Amino acid sequence: MDMDGFPDSLINRLDRARRVVFATGAGISAESGVPTFRGEGGIWNKMRPEELASVDGFMRNPQLVWEWYQHRRDLMSRVEPNPGHFAIAAFEQHFPELTVITQNIDGLHRRAGSSRILELHGDISRNKCFDCGRLYDKEINPDEDLPRCGCGGMIRPDVVWFGEMLPHDVLQAAFEAAETAEIFFSVGTSAVVQPAASLPLVAARRGAFLVEVNLEPTPLTPVADVFLQGKSGDILPRLLKQFESRRKAAPGGEKTP
């Protein structure tokens, strides 16, 4: 155990690793103040999320769904990446291959500087065609007639709704990253929502060193090689600092990927 409270086994593994995965959930976003699913007060608290975040809800009342998503976008635009997001982005400089797999739709990892991000549930800031899936980059005004794609399809938020499958290519890439990871971090997730909950188990079965960072123990905790309890915005920057100090003190100084 080093002086900062991190096991030597973790620092040593980091020092040797080339392929690292950070899988993040709602916990890291909550530290930035990202509002809960239902938002703040008003009419939205009186409605079931399934009525607003589903294909059926969109087909019944696309105007209402767009108003809700604009409300959520406005709320999320007021939050910023926290030290946990920035630490993950900084770790990327030390490994040839670092992948961020996130269940969050807030885009905070991208804003923090991470470059290889697999967004399992999409990104609330993007729009796409309901029919052909083509991205739509023009601004949406729910108070006006809703736009359509060139193919005639309706434009919708680029997020995964209740009852929808996760994007096949993104999910496949996530499992491939888990299968080849040497170190797998599970950060701020409940470890119960499938299929994301299977990713750390796949990594562990393939021999990855499994690290959990969370406020409370989860079903993953007994499986993890190391459980770091606390806020990711506190733990990850300290871990990064300790890791970088170790590398600089080693013969030959800082290694490069």
| Confidence (pLDDT) at 41 | 46
How many C-beta atoms surround the C-beta of residue 97 within 10 A? 16
- pLDDT number for residue 254: 57
**In the prediction, which pLDDT does 248 show?**
78
Q: What pTM did the predictor assign?
A: 0.90
pLDDT score, position 153:
94
CATH class, range 35-78+126-159: alpha beta
Q: Which residues contact 31 (CB under 8 A, 6 or more apart)?
A: 82, 84, 188, 231, 232, 233
**85 annotated active-site:** no
Give me the pLDDT at residue 1, please. Answer: 40
pLDDT, position 39: 46
pLDDT at 98: 98
pLDDT value for 42: 47
Instruction: Return the pLDDT at 3.
Output: 43
Given this model, what pLDDT does residue 138 score? 87
**How many angstroms separate the CA atoms of 244 and 255, rounded?**
10
Q: Domain limits of the chain?
A: 8-33+80-121+166-249, 35-78+126-159
Annotated catalytic residue: which of 71, 85, 121, 168?
121
Pick out the chain residues at pLDDT < 50: 1-3, 38-43, 256
> Domain spanning 8-33+80-121+166-249: which superfamily?
TPP-binding domain (3.40.50.1220)
pLDDT in tens, 136-169: 988 887 778 888 999 999 999 999 998 899 999 9
Tens digits of per-residue pLDDT, 5-25? 799 999 999 999 999 999 999
The answer to whether the beta carbons of residues 170 and 196 sit under 8 Å apart is no
